[in-house]
Structure 1
């Protein structure tokens, strides 16, 4: 079974594209959402996070205080890199186990940081979802009720969109100029044959 990554900058429309693939019967592993879950359920990862960020980073029910952790890592690039170095391998392991349980011609792993986390090494191909920055900015501002400055700050922490798309094997354009569904159907056809 093929393991295909799907990535793109914030606001590019990765989730929309993934939902279309799901309608075609393709299982999708949402790495960002699963990473949050894994930080609460993986005993080894929890121990590592406690070791580096303090025992009280988890509450009395054993759940991660995400707001507190975010306050620590988003002000300190070295601490963010440390957290990512702990979480990314655990998420890659979990996605590998998940993929082995699926019954489909291929599976998708959706992740904003597919290249940055080195997770692409565990995949057969990578799909990029591309949209122009002004459109991505508007989408995220509306979706997250965030200011232009907040969204731009988040965008600047991600890999440059042009570089990211060059690293992908396939690109789906979600620019409101080209229809997305025909692009997904053509790619699905290619991946199943």
Structure 2
């Protein structure tokens, strides 16, 4: 079995409130390497001076405070302005994907992990799915997701619904998934699902070579 980047790569995605980050934290606890695309994007947006200029051109000087990304300011805009959201993604996604692929190659060379997990909200939307061996989609009942986000972000139901409208239809993501996790239950149920997948990926990672 041949992997796309010399090592087994798995994407984890899902809409807001689905629990995809919790899934990735469990993978980390078990010893997996996890790359968080959102953290990587933030670092690139703060360190790449050329990119910063382009972002300021779209969002204005308020996009940064003391050189640091003004995340809430930008988030408030992109969740209500599809054009600016698309412009930002067209700038950031290619840079993030290049960085992740570079990391894949480094890990494959060093043989430091059996497989790599990438947590990213926009795997399908950015076309990054073509660079991954498997994709896990995490989802939950809509009311469960709304409650989670309202509690986590201290925001209104209307704000959550507006943010959900800007994302890909969860049903479409489920159709595109290689593996689907329904996350309506308690935390231990989710942890056990991740433990099973961790063991499965360890086995798959050994199937490299001529097979």
Alignment TM-score > 0.5, same fold? yes
Please report how far the alpha carbon of residue 118 of structure 1 lies from its aligned counterpart in structure 2 after TM superposition. Answer: 1.3
**Considering only aligned residues, what root-mean-square deviation do their CA atoms show, in Å?**
2.2
Q: Does 1:97 align with 2:102?
A: yes
Render the CA deviation track for 1:2-40: whole Å, top value 9, x for unaligned: 111000111011111111100111111111122122100
- Aligned-partner Cα distance in 1 for 2:178–2:56: 38
Q: Does 1:30 align with 2:40?
A: no
Structure 1, unpaired ranges of 5+: none
Choose which of 140, 157, 164 in structure 1 pairs with 2:149. Answer: 140
Render the CA deviation track for 1:117-148: whole Å, top value 9, x for unaligned: 11112111101112111101111111111110
Give TM-score, length-normalised by structure 2: 0.81
- Consecutive aligned runs of 4 or more in structure 1 exceeding 3 Å deviation: 50-54, 56-75
Choose which of 9, 18, 30 in structure 2 pairs with 1:3. Answer: 9
Counterpart position of 1:39? 45
| Paired residue secondary structure (2:68) | coil
Choose which of 181, 188, 194 in structure 2 pairs with 1:184. Answer: 194
| Paired residue secondary structure (2:180) | strand
* 63-72 or 110-119, which deviates more: 63-72
Choose which of 19, 40, 53 in structure 1 pairs with 2:25. Answer: 19
The answer on whether the counterparts of 2:45 and 2:92 sit within 8 Å (CA) in structure 1 is yes
Render the CA deviation track for 1:25-65: whole Å, top value 9, x for unaligned: 111111112212210012342243345455x3565853344
- Aligned-partner Cα distance in 2 for 1:124–1:106: 10
Count of aligned residue pairs for this structure pair = 192
* 22-31 or 175-184, which deviates more: 175-184
| Paired residue secondary structure (1:175) | coil
